[in-house]
Amino acid sequence: MAGKIAIVGSNMVDLITYTDRMPLPGETIEAPRFEMGCGGKGANQAIAAARLGADVMMVTKVGDDIFADNTIRNFETSGIDTRFVERVPGTSSGVAPIFVEPSGENCILIVKGANAQLSPADVDRAADALKECDLILMQLEIPLETVYHTVAFGAEHGIETLVNPAPAPADLDSTKIEKATFLVPNQTELATISGMAVNSLADAEAAARSLIARGVKTVIVTLGGDGALLINGNDDAVHIDPVSVKPVDTTGAGDAFIGSFARYYAANRDVKAALEMAMRYAADSITRPGTQKSYASVQEFEKFCQSL
């Protein structure tokens, strides 16, 4: 069994421009290629988990524009439960213009659209189904009050929760996510949440331990090409080594990491083993262009692992 996972989070339409270089302020340049796809941190993590065989449920909102049908169809095609995907009249769907350089590095803007209307009441409407889940994932492309409410819901009902604090806003109240089972920031987000400088592995460990001291059970710091750092209240910090690949497009790699971690953790409750699989899955995803379309199926991922 791969476990049952819920995502209370965002969906976006990715508008991806591949460019030879980023334009300067006020400059117009020609870009060689454009693609459009389904994205958003919540949806990306849901798709990654579902591609790997997890039973996934999505709690999210879409607009009443041309993007909504495609977003819902994409969930359904991937086998994701869409009972709690709701349309919002008179509102756009979320969109994310993405700019990708030849190195694979990217810059992203997000427009929340209907995601901004996902409320605690929506979580309460899905309560019975959420109580059947092994793990609930959240990100910060939805209202913070909804994230806080979901973390509290999980703690009340004994359901493990994972918060990916991305993007980390200045007004994030870290005291309201301290009951999360897992907090998974990158270095920049960790610095924002902890209020500490994070310029090295030692800094990352110190900042993560400050969050453990506040009540978070486990902190997983994603370090990009340097792998990840696992810190909890019981053991020494564990460094998860990166997997070396030639990057084509790093867009969505963090979501691939979290979605695949959720899938493997929900199945076996082995955090380190799940992180090692997630590191491989994220590495595989950056060898192909795009976001969700770069996420491997079970068979594709097994082939990649055999090649290492």
DSSP letter string, 57-79: EEEEEE-SSHHHHHHHHHHHHTT
Q: Which of 189, 70, 104 is nearest to 141 (CA)?
A: 189
Give me the percent of the chain exceeding a pLDDT of 90: 84
- Annotated catalytic residue within 203, 255, 270, 284: 255
Q: Fill in the DSSP letter of residue 307.
A: H
pLDDT for 242 equals: 92
Residue 281 has pLDDT above 70, yes or no: yes
CA 118 and chain centroid, separation? 17
Q: Helix, strand, coil proportions of the chain in percent (round to 5)? A: 40, 25, 35
Residue 158 has pLDDT above 90, yes or no: yes
If pLDDT is split at 50, 70 and 90, which confidence band does 69 have? very high
pLDDT for 108 equals: 85
| Alpha helices per DSSP H over the chain | 41-51, 66-77, 120-125, 127-130, 144-157, 187-194, 201-214, 253-268, 271-285, 298-307
| Alpha helices per DSSP H over 142-234 | 144-157, 187-194, 201-214
Asked if 40 and 94 touch (Cβ cutoff 8 Å), the reply is yes
pLDDT for 1 equals: 58
The residues that bridge with 39 in the sheet, in sequence order, are 12
**Residue 171 is among the residues annotated as catalytic for this protein:** no
How big is the CA angle at 61 (ends 59 and 66), to the nearest 5 degrees?
A: 135
Residue 120 has pLDDT above 90, yes or no: yes
